[in-house]
Structure 1
């Protein structure tokens, strides 16, 4: 048995190396300096970011794209507390993250140490679990625990808190202590199936249905189950609708795709009304997905499959609850239903879906191909549909960037080709999300990454363009430039009428000029016919980010993709899609 004397920081780095982590994002401080030094010597891919929240967003997007654990670090106090917003995104979205946090020297704690705070009290509600290292010899054990918790059940973020004296101290570790279980390098680490009797009941309910419909949420992607959803749908002829997070559960171009449901929809809400059984898979049925708890209408028969038992019955009472992993359960149900003749039985129901979708496209064609300037958002998304290959990834910032993308953008293959920050819907995800998604796409051999963000969200995180440029990442950022906090201004317009706006306007800014100072390629897009060539130029760039500054409508009546169901109804002619 070989014993090596090393710092706690090196032990941390050795454990991360054993888990074969991908890129790690962080901003150093004195507490974690031995870890940084070991990361350098061991060759870990650690990238300096300019804001800790953005580092955690980048780790989140990397994990969403790859399924691997995203890793971020932060130093004592403000570094740690800056992570909160991004960690809540990962917690709510079920994304595996390990956050390494420096803490004060235990001999000096609570003696007015610089930057000291009750950081664990602040972080605890934002994560799945907080682990504090009180003894240096427990570092390997607790790192293993962090990865196990992050990747098991419903995945989520875990904080590993390391006091300064633990990180700087030394201990003689045995080599065998740096051995890990490889199943915890990615999520889901373990899969479970529902009770056998419940599965039999589900088979009977679905086999007896005349118009069943699947409603898929982000849990499908957490389970890496998109191919299983597609196989299940094709084997049964069951149409599939999705939430914003669930986009890609089946390709949007698939004839069984009913598109987005909930607050914004194409044809799905009508299909939900007509369905006799709703099969909800990996979906929390929150406010947006249920159109503020009005979809589905009362009285519908619902089967709810989820890895988190507590989600079932939270917003509606299902007729049957299935507690288990989406992929494992769908594969089992598909085999069982294959013997029940459902595919032939549902042939007419399935054949009606592409007809309705074609009618929707014809109805909104004038907007999808709108020639007016400033640019219509529907036209912008339609140009993205034309330009992006099947293996592209579209990252969508919070606000209406995600809503427009969820409604109009078409994934061309199953999988998480659409990455919105819907766990917390925080503004500012676009650029750091583009960084993480680009590194994830590079790891998985995927195609180009485009990040869609509003000008308000872009203003928050401009500094991360320096990070992306320094790393030589060639992805495209589309800034939806409406010189406003668009979602807020649109809601003020709906509720209080034209001209009654408060604190929702931004200064007119040419972002193409701004980003050139960061060494990025900037292209101003002011007319619809400029979109396609600008996208082509952006996608051809190989060594740096490109920012498309797209000037869209300033009319708040045309900013939302459809009626926002709050207190005001808009006449049908105002609907965009």
Structure 2
């Protein structure tokens, strides 16, 4: 039976449980000790992390895979400020999250309390909203609001600031205080439709187009609109290209899939240049997607469908703005276009036949690299093996830097859905391991692979202990090039061979490191070792595996293609 008098910390736990939220990651401190005690007594799924930034990364990936609210907590001062990088990732990526942070006792605030800082001012721009709890009895109200904000509109992280005296104080709560609206336990909690008149104009533009394309971003996954993308594309014969976060909007194996567009692409950029109508959905058209604002070119009409009005026109002025939820908006467009769908398919028969033909030609062009037998292992061959061995329901979590770019370009989803999980909201490195942990918790039976560079892995090595303690059978592939690879490659392109500053790492055998930490470690030095190494890692269900793959040390070959920001672009530089 619920005891009415309880600490503020216990009220926080009960509100999280009322939302059926979890798991939660954090590192405790005095300010939130009643919260931790209640978590122990009431059975909240709370897990100690070794670095608060990794707590947010894990919660972020959990949210992206499960579509539920990620949870994290941190103590006063350095604990709270360590959340900043991960919170900005979640904010930019649209990941629903609630972060509870302890703060100073209000009777002593401003008197040089240990670890005290103006954390509210530091964290406010890193989250969708920061809520301060000033009185104990308002805890249920504030937590309800936090979940509502986190899951509505474009989802995002909400920080709840809890002073020490609020967490340690007591109040006589009533059982009905902990009633919640289950709608806000997952995203998207609420949907809105674009204006009907503008949707009709958009449908008319699409229907008349001879070479339309759909450009999909991560908003497709936030809205759960993958089926709507596929239905509209197949019904009206519209090829689909995607951003790094939009991979899986349509299955990569679908003959209408034009693959990645932007800085690195297969065939999509050329097709965009020849298109006469672009339907952009859930995509911010940022630097990478637009190849530093050079795509699309000319005056091709753009129809932009997005839940965030201010994203439309930020980098490219659309002909029509459809303000609303991607799933609802695509469903409305399908209803309007279905009447003439047969005519559209007939008109575009030759056009859509180009997509698989061009894709096959691209594969033939890069086949030597996709199946390369060279030593050290070619990145294209590594992704080819992942494509071959990762099951349809598996996940590839890609760290920032070149891990995300190689994965985004070459990894193929076998069905529509978010099987590729990159941290492109902020593109911080260090996401691969904690992100894989969060994805594994969201999908316990799936095979989850984290792809990370050695630089990113060095940042978060301590979380191997966390993954081992939690008995998570994640597979972490360390792309070992003994360098901060993206930076070294850019230095090579900008300044020439040998002009490297602070971009090289010590040669390290990460398989040995993993084995020393009680995990499963295996080193791969040649491509013929890849399959056995990956399968042995996939077989580990109760502890993490590290597959240390030795790749090229040549900075001229570290990127999938020449980066468009560099000045030394040579004719013939191609992908992979």
Q: Shorter-chain-normalised TM-score: which range?
A: over 0.9
Q: How many residues align?
A: 574
Deviation at 1:350, TM superposition (A): 1.4
Evaluate the alpha carbon distance shift between residue 210 and residue 31 of structure 1 in structure 2; reply closer, same or farther with a 3 A threshold. Answer: same
Whole-angstrom CA distance in 1 between matches of 2:349 and 2:472:
46
Whole-angstrom CA distance in 2 between matches of 1:330 and 1:189:
18
1:378–1:576 contact (8 Å) kept in structure 2: no
Choose 316-325 or 329-338, whichever is displaced more: 329-338
Whole-angstrom CA distance in 1 between matches of 2:2 and 2:25:
32
Corresponding residue for 2:525? 526
Cα deviations by residue, 1:214-259 (Å, 9 ceiling, x for unpaired) = 0000111111111211111111111000000000000111111000
Corresponding residue for 1:483? 482
Deviation at 1:345, TM superposition (A): 2.3
Corresponding residue for 2:90? 90
2:468–2:519 contact (8 Å) kept in structure 1: yes
- For residues 60-79 of structure 1, the aligned pairs below 5 Å read 60-79=60-79
Whole-angstrom CA distance in 1 between matches of 2:87 and 2:75:
15
Corresponding residue for 2:506? 507
Deviation at 1:573, TM superposition (A): 4.5
Whole-angstrom CA distance in 1 between matches of 2:468 and 2:573:
41
Whole-angstrom CA distance in 1 between matches of 2:541 and 2:150:
34
- For residues 334-373 of structure 1, the aligned pairs below 5 Å read 334-341=334-341, 342-373=344-375
DSSP-derived class of the 1:60 partner: helix
- For residues 67-216 of structure 1, the aligned pairs below 5 Å read 67-216=67-216
Equivalent of 1:415, from 411, 414, 417?
A: 417
Whole-angstrom CA distance in 2 between matches of 1:64 and 1:344:
38
DSSP-derived class of the 2:161 partner: strand
Whole-angstrom CA distance in 1 between matches of 2:308 and 2:3:
42
2:228–2:327 contact (8 Å) kept in structure 1: yes
Deviation at 1:574, TM superposition (A): 4.1
Evaluate the alpha carbon distance shift between residue 526 and residue 572 of structure 1 in structure 2; reply closer, same or farther with a 3 A threshold. Answer: farther
Whole-angstrom CA distance in 2 between matches of 1:5 and 1:541:
46
Corresponding residue for 1:464? 463
TM-score by length of 2: 0.99
Cα deviations by residue, 1:259-312 (Å, 9 ceiling, x for unpaired) = 000000000000001110000000000000000000111211100000000000
DSSP-derived class of the 2:72 partner: strand
DSSP-derived class of the 2:4 partner: strand
Whole-angstrom CA distance in 1 between matches of 2:428 and 2:561:
21
TM-score by length of 1: 0.98
Choose 535-544 or 66-75, whichever is displaced more: 535-544
Whole-angstrom CA distance in 1 between matches of 2:21 and 2:551:
40
Whole-angstrom CA distance in 1 between matches of 2:575 and 2:275:
26
Deviation at 1:2, TM superposition (A): 8.0
2:399–2:423 contact (8 Å) kept in structure 1: yes
DSSP-derived class of the 2:57 partner: helix
2:514–2:546 contact (8 Å) kept in structure 1: yes
Corresponding residue for 2:378? 376
1:559 aligns with 2:558: yes
DSSP-derived class of the 2:231 partner: helix
Deviation at 1:572, TM superposition (A): 4.3
1:106–1:164 contact (8 Å) kept in structure 2: yes
Corresponding residue for 2:248? 248
1:367–1:576 contact (8 Å) kept in structure 2: no
Whole-angstrom CA distance in 1 between matches of 2:32 and 2:102:
6
Corresponding residue for 1:401? 403
Whole-angstrom CA distance in 1 between matches of 2:115 and 2:477:
37
2:490–2:566 contact (8 Å) kept in structure 1: no
Cα deviations by residue, 1:306-336 (Å, 9 ceiling, x for unpaired) = 0000000000110000000001111121122
Whole-angstrom CA distance in 2 between matches of 1:257 and 1:474:
32
1:311 aligns with 2:308: no
Deviation at 1:352, TM superposition (A): 1.2
1:558–1:574 contact (8 Å) kept in structure 2: no
2:153–2:188 contact (8 Å) kept in structure 1: yes
Whole-angstrom CA distance in 1 between matches of 2:570 and 2:413:
30
1:99–1:159 contact (8 Å) kept in structure 2: yes
Choose 346-355 or 471-480, whichever is displaced more: 346-355
1:263–1:565 contact (8 Å) kept in structure 2: yes
Corresponding residue for 1:279? 279
Corresponding residue for 1:452? 451
2:265–2:575 contact (8 Å) kept in structure 1: no
Corresponding residue for 1:29? 29
DSSP-derived class of the 2:560 partner: coil
1:234 aligns with 2:234: yes
2:306–2:325 contact (8 Å) kept in structure 1: yes
Note the aligned Cα RMSD (angstroms): 1.1
Whole-angstrom CA distance in 1 between matches of 2:159 and 2:255:
43
